[in-house]
């Protein structure tokens, strides 16, 4: 299990969003992003869970650890900043973020959380 933080530059005031994953391949991929070895699939995606997680303070939702993936390009319907998701969480998983799938296009991994 590992936890990583990302920001959405230009949105959210630089506030980090923290996710967790137990998948060894995803952990290795995230570490390659942070080291600069992975230049392409660098943005974070996953399915939101509409309840807080203790490791992700300040947000009332988190990403399902089993659904974490990384991407270079994704469809527009899943793009939103963390703050926008927070402000519209009651609408998420319907027309907004169908299937609870969230893929912030500007997400940028910042660190591994110890």
Q: What is the pLDDT of residue 87?
A: 97
User: What are the residue boundaries of the structural domains of the chain, listed by start?
Assistant: 2-113
What is the pLDDT, as a whole number, of residue 84? 96
> CA 20 to CA 67: how far, in whole Å?
10
Q: What is the pLDDT of residue 75?
A: 81
* Total-model pTM: 0.95
Burial 6-44, CB ≥16 within 10 A → b, else e: bbbeebbeebbbbbbbebeebbebbeebeeeebeeebbb
The pLDDT profile of the chain, 114 residues, written as one tens digit per residue, is: 999 999 998 888 889 999 999 999 999 999 999 999 999 999 999 999 999 999 999 999 999 999 999 999 888 899 999 999 999 999 999 999 999 999 999 999 999 999
């Amino acid at each position: 299990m590992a936890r990583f933080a990302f920001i959405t530059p230009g949105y959210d005031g630089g506030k980090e969003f923290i996710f967790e994953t137990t998948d060894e391949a995803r952990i290795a991929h995230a570490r390659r992003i942070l080291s600069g070895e992975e230049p392409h699939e660098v943005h974070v995606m996953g399915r939101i869970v509409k309840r807080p997680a203790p490791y992700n303070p300040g947000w009332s939702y988190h990403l399902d650890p089993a659904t974490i993936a990384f991407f270079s390009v994704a469809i527009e319907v899943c793009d939103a900043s963390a703050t926008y998701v927070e402000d519209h969480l009651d609408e998420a998983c319907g027309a907004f973020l169908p299937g609870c799938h969230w893929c912030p296009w500007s997400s940028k991994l910042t660190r591994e959380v110890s």
